[in-house]
Structures are given as structure tokens and as C-alpha cells.
A and B are shown apart, each in its own frame.
Chain A
Amino acid sequence: MTVTGFFTDSTLCIGCKACEVACKEWNDVPDDGFSFSGLSYDNTLALGHSTWRHVKFVEHDAVIGRGGNAPELMTWEFSSDVCKHCENAGCLDACPTGSIVRTEFGSVYVQPDICNGCGYCVVSCPFGVIDRRPSDGRAFKCTFCYDRQRAGEEPACAKACPTQSILFGDLEELQRLADARIEKLHANGMTDATIYNPVDTSVGGTHAFFLVRGDVRAYNLPPRPEVPATLLPKAWTSAAVAAGALAIGSILAFALGARR
């Protein structure tokens, strides 16, 4: 099985949200509430238990004479976000039930028949992706359309995308495409375009990676995400010290206390 991935290129995204809707349709995801945000054209605001694809609208001041494709100036950037399917996935590490697994496609998948809703994955995802759905009790996120991939189909979101902003395919191939794309954009003068794929952090790269313009933080993408597991040695050492101290301390205390 080849490892598959998503390369989402926001310079090609028209913000139509077809991906967001297609995902919900295919996966039968419920609505995420009906509230007006006033934040550009985004009313779903973030990925979550009931939004597995999410289109962000990063708005800057519009300038007369310049469209959004003008290389020297950012205006209205759309970027379709999704679970990153991390090479080292915090959620997968954290899941105590083994509900979250790595599939033959290299993606990170939550088995809905196993999850008991402990919520630990929620605090272990460095990207704020997975969440527990209150009305259901279980944790949900993008499945990378495991069912469709099994059937040899591309994920629903990629299928619906009219402009090929979402490319799906062989991960390595996509990385090559992304490198070529960024080179071309830079050559065209769009020097603020970057690939967001945290390969050099403990996350070790993501199977869903992105091309965005400008500061990645404006898209709520953490510049240096780390897998929580990196903290384990520190924390367990501390626990061992504490446990040792408690064991020895209590024995000593009683020994001391008894002496008088």
C-alpha cells in the first residue's frame, strides 16, 4: 500500500467550501451550530468534532488595482485545513484504548467502535484538530476517507474541490509537486508563499501539508508543533522522583516518628 497524503495549495483555493460540505455529506457529520461570527466569511471557525475540513478566510486590507493573485500583496487568502495525519501523531500516542490506529495508507484513523470518549486525544493533538462530540460522546476527526480509500476512491473533499487546491495522492509525489510549485511561485515573485509541513520538529512531518502565504500563525498553524510524547521522559522522571520521595519519605518519617 502506498502512503497517501494531501497537499492543499491555498493559492489555488477559491474559498468555495465544497470540501467542507462534501466531507460532511459523505461522512454524515452533523452541523456545527448556526452562529454568525463576523470574522470574514468564516462561520465554522475551526476544525472540530463536527467540522473535519475547514476553510479559513484570512483577510487583509484590499487595495484598489490589485487582486489576490498579485504577488506583492496578500489580500484574501483561503486555506482549507484538515487533520494533519501526523507522522508522529499526538492523538495516536495518547489514545488509551487503541481506538486510534495508523492505517495501511499511513493515515491516522479513529475507530468509532472502540473509542470510549476519554478525551485524552483532545489535549494531545498539537494542532487542535480532534475533539469529543458532546452529543455523541466519542472523539471525531477526519478519517482520511478510509472507507473511500479502501474502495480505491479519492477522499470526498479532494474529489469535490473544483480547482485542485486539494491534491490527493502518493505522499512523496505530492512533496515533489509542492517543491516544484513553491519554486514556481517564488520565481513569479510571490516570495511570501511557504510550505507548511513541520518535518523538523518532533511531529516529523505531516501527511496533510499546506502551501500558504505569509505568517503561518495567521492560519492558526503552530510554527513549531511538538508531539506531547517528547515530554514523557521529563514527566516520568519527575514522577519517579516524586514516587521515590514519597516512598522513602514516608518510611523515613515513620522511622523518625517512631524513634521518639
Chain B
Amino acid sequence: MPGLGTSFGRGGATTAQQDLANADAILIMGSSMAENHPVGFQWVVEAREKNGAKIIHVDPRFTRTSAMSDYWLPLRAGTDIVFLGALINYTLTNERWFRDYVVHYTNAPTILRSDFMDTEELGGLFSGWDAKNETYDPETWLYEGAARKEEGGGQEKDRGGESQDLDRPHRDETLQHRRCVFQVLKRHFARYTPEMVEQACGIPAEKFLEVADVFTAASGREKTGAICYAVGWTQHSTGVQIIRAASILQLLLGNIGRPGGGILALRGHASIQGSTDVPTLYDILPGYLPMPAVERTLDEYVKRHKSPKGWWYNLDKYIVSLLKSYYGEAATTDNGFGFSWLPRLTRDHSYFGYWMDMADGKLEGLLVMGQNPAVGSPNAKLERKALSKLKWLVVRDMVETETATFWNEFPECDTEVFFFPAASHVEKEGTFTNTQRLLQWREKAVEPPGEARSELQFMIDLGRRLKRRASESPRDAGLRALTWNYSDEDAGEILREIHGGHVDGRSIKDFSELKNDGSTACGCWIYSGVYDGENRADGRDPHGRYGHGWGYTWPLDRRILYNRASADPDGKPWSERKALVWWDEARREWVGHDEADFTRGKAPDFKGDPEGGGDEALPGDAPFIMHPDGVGWIWVATGLKDGPLPAHYEPLESNVHNQLYPAQDKNPAALWMKREDNEYAGSPDDRFPYVLTTYRLTEHHTAGGMSRTLPHLAELQPELFTEISPELARELGVANGDVVEISTVRAAIRARALVTTRMPSLDVGGKRVHQVGLPYHWGPNGLVKGDVVNDLLAISEEPNVRIFESKGLSCNVRRA
């Protein structure tokens, strides 16, 4: 989650759902929280009912979330940056920003290089664009006086940038310097006006202004506002920059690290946060350590990624402890703790990268566990075709998904499919890490049926078998060295390994005790603390405002990140009403309602020890402890591939031209993955005049394997439908309930028309724009069947996280 990671230092929601209850305003955008996070939504309702908080929902559709909100603004899909940019502009021009916070806790005063050129000057591009390689060289984005850092290498995205050179910024606390971030920001967002919102998003300017006034009022010492988003923001070719825009807004309003503030990234599956923390991703190791690519030795790796200031100063301790956890006694000082055994990024190993390889017949086999790409992934048609090129496919699932039965479509294909029944979450123990970084332990409630087994059992067994077959070749050295003496199924054992300890068996309290000399081992440093003698994820005794004692939040049970910012630079709460943690002079430590996300005994007036490394180098009024400069980043100098500030670009398929930067329609850094079976409509394209967006229904779950198969859910939404406006329905001669055909350049599917004013047609720059909405839960298996919406989508990649664009494409609709 680099949007948050670069802005604040950690790639996770800055707050907890419970804390929403303390907000004075909540902006929900790019999420239909009431529908997709209904349980967490209770705290939105609580804020509304108890504090009279104003709830704002910005969504192309009037959803169940809108129905619970005070304000609903429909926007054209894919124009979120215009809207947020205009909010930023509104905040700046109407003096709604929280000066004391901005000056002390953000990089607004930091002065930038003189050779930086903004989109203003370059027609929608930032300086550093390399047209040949279609990438940015971010050197000109650096702070003034910062040396250019070494090129290439690991993925810094989730860690707030590898900016070891940004630690001694030139600052102007009056914010007047022409090249300080604040002034650059002002100029950059000056074109994001209410009129532009009207022209690009289709939201009437006066409605925008009403809402802007309401949200930006939730700022200052006495008030806070929160922002909730989910994949309505991320699944765009500009997804990360949308989240960046929200981060900038919240920093300006002084809403990060404070009660009722923050940005809540609402995540997907029950433990999707967990699967980025202890990642199933190709480019990071547990705890957001970069996956090695070109680094040959541990020293090279450490040199490249360790930061002299801020928390990443400790990177060497974490990587060495991880290697000790992997390789045990085989990891020694002499062999760089087995660093060379780690796999390397040698080419595009991203999700879509390997699907393309598969489609080209370059992959032999695939293990699919807990995923249903035949329905859930974009251009699912291409993905099913890719499966047919495999030699073998293993599917581990609780139901026979479309991925396991894809071959019905390819009767001739030679793929051998193995289906393994999986135990469900109630049939095995373990933890979930939820959307707010909270680990919750789960007991096994019932035995799995038949031969269904847990992932843990399966993986342990697989590991044993692979180790047994490990050859003597150097290639298998890592496999041979891998410690693998697990009992058959004990998730607690795994959690203890993740928590870590001394290699001699003594326990540790948390990651502060980790060492870089090989004397400690730790499976994922950010989780270290979860098993300090007892399984704290299993805590069932909540107390206090944030329910400490129930489960365990990484890091160190801190429920609200960067909460040092809830106190002023002197360590006093900004106001009584918004007190969270504060400096207790008598006890000489930080106290309050939450664990301070700060070194406990570091006084507010501590100046920072320039000689010391890491956290010691940061002063007592620097709340963003992961960052080398200790402040929140309005400006992201390094870590992002498409610019230091957000800029609006149109979706990859769009019939509207970029009205902000007419010369630059699309995000230049986005990856199209264009090929014969992954084509795009033109921009504009008469054949596909409508905007298509896709989303979820409360009644179903993602690719439907877990809901279309259950009668009690399937009956609630039994058929695929498309939401269209009465106006479009009239134009098409379609009545409510009719079957229509929706097509993109890639495919055509059928759905029933649900004609509703909840899906309004909009006036966009003098043109009437019709939007077409499709939930994507259906497929050919299950109790209720339907066409696969994802056949309509393209595989495209946002440059930073390589996510596809599912919200905002071009389509056509006709009567079927």
C-alpha cells in the first residue's frame, strides 16, 4: 500500500474502525463501506448518531452506504483525483488547513530542488520523464540538497521510500519560499477548482462546495475527520495517487494520528492485510523488507536499503533475524546468513506478468490456493485460456470453483487438474490480520469434512516432500538449509516463530530486542510482540477506548498509528476533546488511551542526536518515526513511479479528454499490457459510449465461490444484473428486468437490467455521460449462475502496485 506507505511510513490503515466513532466528519469514497464492511460500519453509524458526525459518500452510484450518509455525490468513475485535488485546493484557498500541524508534522516547509518542473509547466508530466523507457527518473523530485541515491534495486514502495539522503532538508517554516513543498502544492492544485469538478466529475460545483465546507470543517484542534476507502480507489490506473491525494488532504487538515481522524484503508479478504504483512507478494519479504533483485550479498542489500535515520535504520537486524528464522544454524556470518539462498527478482514476477507468461505457454504448472481467477481476475477469458496452456494445475478450495472446472470451456486442453479439498476458516486454527492490523486468533470449531486439510498441514507436508527430494546441487542449497521441523498442525508454533526469539532459546519481548549478529531469529519483525510468553492474538479481554486486550495490533499493539501527532509539539493534546496520547512530565513518558507510536521515554523537547542512528536521530516532535525526516509527506520524493504529487489522468479507456492536462490524457507510467487478447477501446471510441464500473454486493463474496454455492446467500441476489439510469434505459428501449448485453472491446456478456435513479447519468463538460454498473460475482458454477463480468475487463497495471483498472472502462449496452 504505497499510497499510505510513502505518505506516512507504513503501508497500512492509520487508524482502527472503532476510532471512526470519534470523528466529526467521515468521507467515504472509493468504498461502499456499509455494503462491504458492514460490521465496521457500525462505528460510522455511531459517529453519526452520537457526535452528529456528517457522513459523506462520493460514489458513481447511490449505494447502501449513500443511504446511510448525509451527503451523496455521484462522480464519473475514474475522476477521484479531480475531486480530491479540488478539496485540497479548497482547503488551501479557504485557509482550512491546520497550520501548527502542517508546519511541524509535515514536509510542507521542505524546500525542493530548483530543477524540478511540475505538470503545470510540462503539460501534465513531471520533470524526469524518460519517453524512451516510459518511466520517470525521480532525481528532480528530491529535496534540495539531497544527494541522488543509487539507482535501481529493491522495492521501496511500502516503506515510505528509501530516502537515506532526505534527512537534512532545507526548511522554511514560514512556508513562503517559492520552492517549499507548500507553495509548490498550492500552485499544483490551483487548477483543481469546483468548476473543474463540475466539468470532469459531473458534480455540480455548488454541491461540491457544500460538501467541501462540511468536510474541511472537521479540522483543527477541536475537530477531526476520517477518510475511508477501498478498491473503488485502488483499482484505477492512478490508484496509488488517489490515495496520495487523500493523504495530502488529511495532512493539511491535521487529521493523521489523531482520534477520529486518519485514513482507513478498508481491505478485502479476512486476512488480506496479513497476506501483505507476511506477504504472498512477489516483491517483498515479511515485514515489508524488500525482495532482493540485483544485490549479491547481504552487505550490498543492507547498504542499499538501510536508512541512517528513522526506523529503517534497523533493517539489518530484521533481515538477519528473518534469515536466521529461515535457515537456522545453516545461516552463519560467513555465508551472509544464507542471503544468497533467497530467490531474486530477475524479471516481471508480478501477478499479471506470470499470467501473460502462462498464456504464452511459458509456465508448466500452477498452484491456486484460495483464489478463483477464472472469475475474479480481469480479462478472465485470457486467464482461463492461460490455464489451458498449463501442464498441471492444483486447486485447493472448499468448493469446486470455475478455476477448477475451467477445462469445460477447453475440452481439448491437456492440463491435468488436481483438486484438493481445503479446510475452511472454522475448521482450522490460526490468525486473521484484519483491515486495522489487528491479529485475532481463531479456534478450530469443527473438524474439516472428509479429506479436507488446512493450508498449514498441506504446506508442511509439501515442504517435507520437497526437502526430501532436494538434490545436492547448489541450486537446492537453500531448500536443504531451510528449517522445517514443524509438528503436523500447530499454528501456535508458527506464530511463535513469527514473533521470534534468541537462537539459544531465550524469548524476546518484541522486535526491539532483535540483533544483526545472528543471535536472534524472527519470522516477521512487525509482528514481533504478538507472542511474548502468551498468545496475545488470543486476548479476549478488551478494555479502554480501543479495546486493548482483545487481539493484538501490529506494531506493539498500537491501535492508532503516528499518534504522537495527537499532541502538539510540546506533548500536550491539541485539545481535551481530541486527546489521545500525551507526554506525562512526572513519569517522563508518553501515556494516554493508546500505546504511543513513539519511543516511550523520548521527551517532546528532545532535539534528536545527529550522531546517533535511526530513531535517536529524530527529535521528540517527529511523529512519523518510519520516515528519515520524521514528518508526514505531502511531497513524496522517492518511492513512487508516477510522480511526487497526484495528478489527474483519465482511465485507460475513456471517452472524455483530460480537462486538467489536455496534452496528457493517461497516466504516462501505467502499463497497458497490450496484446491481441488484451485490447483496448480507443479514447474516445464511438462503439463504446458508456462508462463501465464494477463492484460488489453485500450478498455475495468476490468471485462467488463462497456465496453462489450457499442457498441462503444465493437467493438474496440470484442473478447478474446491471444498474443503469432510467435515462439510459429509455434511450436503449430497455425496461426494468430486461436482459441486456454489455460489451467491451474484449467480450460481451448478458445481464438483467436494474433500472434505477441510484445510477444517475451525469453532465460532464457539456456532455451527457451514462454509467453502467456491474457487480462481478457470477460464473458458470454454483446454485445461481451468470456470465463472468471480468471477461469484459483488460489486464492493465497501475505503475506502483500493478493493480488492474476495474472501475472506469468504456462499454456498450444493448437489448439482448
Q: A contacts B directly in the complex (CB < 8 Å)?
A: yes
| A158 shortest CB reach to chain B, Å | 14
Taken together as a complex, chains A and B put the C-alpha atoms of A64 and B736 apart, in Å, by 22
Taken together as a complex, chains A and B put the C-alpha atoms of A75 and B69 apart, in Å, by 11
| A16 lies within 8 A of B57 (CB) | no
| B70 lies within 8 A of A69 (CB) | yes
Q: Verify if A99 is at the interface (C-beta below 8 Å from B).
A: no
Contacts of B87 in A (CB 8 A): none
- Residues facing B in A40-63 (CB within 8 A) are 40-41, 43-44, 59, 61-62
The chain B residue with its CB closest to the CB of A165 is B45
The chain B residue with its CB closest to the CB of A50 is B715
| A189 shortest CB reach to chain B, Å | 12
| B67 lies within 8 A of A163 (CB) | no
Q: Verify if B699 is at the interface (C-beta below 8 Å from A).
A: yes
Q: Verify if B711 is at the interface (C-beta below 8 Å from A).
A: yes
| A17 lies within 8 A of B784 (CB) | no
| B205 shortest CB reach to chain A, Å | 11
Q: Which interface residue of B68, B699, B711, B757 has the most chain A CB atoms within 10 A? A: B68
Taken together as a complex, chains A and B put the C-alpha atoms of A32 and B711 apart, in Å, by 9
Q: Verify if A14 is at the interface (C-beta below 8 Å from B).
A: yes
Partner of B67, one of A15, A24, A61: A15
| B620 shortest CB reach to chain A, Å | 41
Q: Which interface residue of A24, A44, A77, A162 has the most chain B CB atoms within 10 A? A: A162
Task: Give per-residue flags for B739-764: 1 if the beta carbon is below 8 A from chain A beta carbons, else 0.
Answer: 00000000000001010111010000
| B758 lies within 8 A of A59 (CB) | yes
Taken together as a complex, chains A and B put the C-alpha atoms of A149 and B752 apart, in Å, by 42
The chain A residue with its CB closest to the CB of B36 is A16
Taken together as a complex, chains A and B put the C-alpha atoms of A31 and B782 apart, in Å, by 14
Contacts of A43 in B (CB 8 A): 715-718
| A67 lies within 8 A of B716 (CB) | no
Q: With A31-B711, A34-B784 given, is the CB distance from A69 to B716 under 8 Å? A: no
Q: Verify if B353 is at the interface (C-beta below 8 Å from A).
A: no
- Residues facing B in A64-100 (CB within 8 A) are 64-70, 75-78
Task: Give per-residue flags for A110-122: 1 if the beta carbon is below 8 A from chain B beta carbons, else 0.
Answer: 0000000000000
Q: Verify if A179 is at the interface (C-beta below 8 Å from B).
A: no
Q: Verify if A145 is at the interface (C-beta below 8 Å from B).
A: no
Q: With A33-B715, A76-B758 given, is the CB distance from A62 to B72 under 8 Å? A: yes
Q: Interface residues of A: mostly helix, strand, loop or mixed?
A: loop
Task: Give per-residue flags for B647-676: 1 if the beta carbon is below 8 A from chain A beta carbons, else 0.
Answer: 000000000000000000000000000000
| B69 lies within 8 A of A68 (CB) | yes
| B762 shortest CB reach to chain A, Å | 9
Contacts of B737 in A (CB 8 A): 36, 38
Q: Verify if A25 is at the interface (C-beta below 8 Å from B).
A: yes
| A218 shortest CB reach to chain B, Å | 15
| B67 lies within 8 A of A65 (CB) | no
Taken together as a complex, chains A and B put the C-alpha atoms of A18 and B699 apart, in Å, by 9
| A118 shortest CB reach to chain B, Å | 28
Q: Verify if B35 is at the interface (C-beta below 8 Å from A).
A: yes
| B715 shortest CB reach to chain A, Å | 5
Q: With A20-B716, A43-B718, A163-B42 given, is the CB distance from A34 to B783 under 8 Å? A: yes
The chain A residue with its CB closest to the CB of B67 is A68
- Which size class do A's interface residues fall under? 35 or more
| B37 shortest CB reach to chain A, Å | 9
Q: Verify if A35 is at the interface (C-beta below 8 Å from B).
A: yes
Taken together as a complex, chains A and B put the C-alpha atoms of A32 and B783 apart, in Å, by 13
Contacts of A34 in B (CB 8 A): 714-715, 718, 783-784
Taken together as a complex, chains A and B put the C-alpha atoms of A247 and B73 apart, in Å, by 75
Partner of A24, one of B42, B712, B754: B712
| A14 lies within 8 A of B34 (CB) | yes
| A162 lies within 8 A of B55 (CB) | no
Partner of A64, one of B64, B74, B718: B74
The chain B residue with its CB closest to the CB of A14 is B34
The chain B residue with its CB closest to the CB of A37 is B737
Task: Give per-residue flags for B407-444: 1 if the beta carbon is below 8 A from chain A beta carbons, else 0.
Answer: 00000000000000000000000000000000000000
The chain B residue with its CB closest to the CB of A42 is B716
| A99 shortest CB reach to chain B, Å | 26
| B754 lies within 8 A of A69 (CB) | no
Contacts of A59 in B (CB 8 A): 756, 758
Q: Verify if B38 is at the interface (C-beta below 8 Å from A).
A: yes
Taken together as a complex, chains A and B put the C-alpha atoms of A70 and B69 apart, in Å, by 7
Q: Verify if B20 is at the interface (C-beta below 8 Å from A).
A: no
Q: With A15-B698, A62-B758 given, is the CB distance from A31 to B34 under 8 Å? A: no
Contacts of A31 in B (CB 8 A): 711-712, 714-715
| A70 shortest CB reach to chain B, Å | 6
Partner of A162, one of B38, B65, B72, B697: B38
Q: Verify if B525 is at the interface (C-beta below 8 Å from A).
A: no
| B72 lies within 8 A of A67 (CB) | yes
| B752 lies within 8 A of A64 (CB) | no
Taken together as a complex, chains A and B put the C-alpha atoms of A123 and B814 apart, in Å, by 45
Q: Verify if A166 is at the interface (C-beta below 8 Å from B).
A: no
| A21 lies within 8 A of B718 (CB) | no
| B64 lies within 8 A of A66 (CB) | no
| B737 shortest CB reach to chain A, Å | 4
Partner of A36, one of B35, B711, B712, B721: B721
Q: Verify if A137 is at the interface (C-beta below 8 Å from B).
A: no
Taken together as a complex, chains A and B put the C-alpha atoms of A202 and B210 apart, in Å, by 49
Q: Verify if A12 is at the interface (C-beta below 8 Å from B).
A: yes
Taken together as a complex, chains A and B put the C-alpha atoms of A36 and B778 apart, in Å, by 14
Task: Give per-residue flags for A188-199: 1 if the beta carbon is below 8 A from chain B beta carbons, else 0.
Answer: 000000000000
Contacts of B73 in A (CB 8 A): 64-65
| A30 lies within 8 A of B711 (CB) | yes
| A69 lies within 8 A of B69 (CB) | yes
Contacts of B712 in A (CB 8 A): 21, 24-25, 31
Contacts of B56 in A (CB 8 A): 67
| B406 shortest CB reach to chain A, Å | 24
Taken together as a complex, chains A and B put the C-alpha atoms of A164 and B21 apart, in Å, by 14
| B698 lies within 8 A of A16 (CB) | yes
Task: Give per-residue flags for B49-83: 1 if the beta carbon is below 8 A from chain A beta carbons, else 0.
Answer: 10000011100001011111111111000000000
Taken together as a complex, chains A and B put the C-alpha atoms of A42 and B34 apart, in Å, by 17
| B752 lies within 8 A of A36 (CB) | yes
Taken together as a complex, chains A and B put the C-alpha atoms of A15 and B35 apart, in Å, by 8
Contacts of B48 in A (CB 8 A): 69
Contacts of A64 in B (CB 8 A): 72-74, 203-204, 207, 760
Q: Verify if B727 is at the interface (C-beta below 8 Å from A).
A: no
Taken together as a complex, chains A and B put the C-alpha atoms of A62 and B262 apart, in Å, by 29
Q: With A61-B757, A67-B55 given, is the CB distance from A36 to B718 under 8 Å? A: yes
Partner of A14, one of B62, B64, B207, B697: B64
| A16 lies within 8 A of B757 (CB) | no
Contacts of A163 in B (CB 8 A): 38, 41-42, 45
Partner of B42, one of A21, A40, A164: A164
| B721 lies within 8 A of A66 (CB) | no
| A141 shortest CB reach to chain B, Å | 17
| A17 lies within 8 A of B715 (CB) | no
| A65 shortest CB reach to chain B, Å | 4
Taken together as a complex, chains A and B put the C-alpha atoms of A67 and B214 apart, in Å, by 14
Taken together as a complex, chains A and B put the C-alpha atoms of A33 and B784 apart, in Å, by 10
Contacts of B72 in A (CB 8 A): 62, 64-68
Taken together as a complex, chains A and B put the C-alpha atoms of A194 and B513 apart, in Å, by 61
| A181 shortest CB reach to chain B, Å | 10
Contacts of B784 in A (CB 8 A): 34
Q: List 30 A-B contacts (CB under 8 A).
A: A14-B34, A14-B38, A15-B67, A16-B64, A16-B698, A17-B699, A30-B711, A34-B718, A38-B736, A41-B64, A41-B699, A43-B718, A44-B715, A59-B756, A62-B756, A62-B758, A64-B73, A64-B203, A65-B207, A65-B211, A67-B66, A68-B67, A68-B68, A68-B69, A68-B72, A69-B67, A69-B69, A75-B67, A76-B62, A76-B67
Question: Beyond the given A35-B719, A62-B758, A69-B68, could you list 9 further A-B residue pairs with CB under 8 A, ordered by the A residue number?
Answer: A14-B34, A15-B698, A31-B714, A32-B715, A43-B716, A65-B207, A69-B69, A75-B62, A162-B41
Q: Report, nearest first, the 8 A-B pairs whose CB atoms are least far apart.
A: A67-B69, A68-B67, A31-B711, A38-B737, A36-B719, A34-B718, A62-B62, A76-B67
